[in-house]
Amino acid sequence: METDKKYSILIVDDDKFLSEMYSIKFSERGFVVETASDGPTALSKVEAGLKPDIFLVDIVMPGMDGFELIQRLKEKNPESKQIIIILSNLGQKEDVEKGLGLGADGYIVKASATPTEVVDKVLEIVGSKV
């Protein structure tokens, strides 16, 4: 699904290699990409005025995990129309349910999707929300 709207995305992942790879894939599809290596960095970027359309959040990160980051984002701006999608290797049913229960709009398991499929899935989730 190609889109005319230029979406902005904040990729929050402590794995520098993966973060750069996803940045390239999303940029190739016309996204405006920002990255953060952890939850506190993502929160400080948001507090500094960054308003991405989409947050792509890993769960397992040092300091603050993705679940806590999602909780904090939702607390700070409960009326936000920003789309939060979890991208994690944690694929257990409990993890998926916890993430969606905290307000995530989608959940993608890294190991079961290529970077191109991740971009397609993000666009699919965004398309279902707008």
- Number of other CB atoms surrounding residue 115 within 10 Å: 16
Using pLDDT thresholds of 50, 70 and 90, give the confidence band for residue 80: confident
Helix (H/G/I), strand (E/B), else coil: 104: coil
Structure tokens at 58: 């890993």
Alpha carbon 72 to its chain's center: 14
- What is the arithmetic mean of pLDDT over 60-76? 93
Q: Which residues pair with 86 in a beta bridge?
A: 57, 107
Using pLDDT thresholds of 50, 70 and 90, give the confidence band for residue 125: very high
Q: Phi-psi region for residue 125, left (φ > 0), alpha (ψ -120 to 50) or beta?
A: alpha
**Total residue count of the chain as it appears in this document:** 130
| Placement of tokens 């993705």 in the chain | 66
The per-residue pLDDT for range 1-23, each reduced to its tens digit, is: 444 678 999 999 999 999 999 99
Q: Which residue has the higher pLDDT, 1 or 90?
A: 90
- What is the arithmetic mean of pLDDT over 28-54? 96
Structure tokens at 76: 């700070």
Q: Supply the mean pLDDT for the chain.
A: 93
Alpha carbon 14 to its chain's center: 13
Question: Given this model, what pLDDT does residue 34 score?
Answer: 98
Q: Which residues pair with 79 in a beta bridge?
A: none
Question: Given this model, what pLDDT does residue 2 score?
Answer: 45
**Listing from the earlier edge strand, what are the strands of the sheet with 54-57?**
32-36, 8-12, 54-57, 83-88, 106-109
This prediction has a pTM of: 0.93
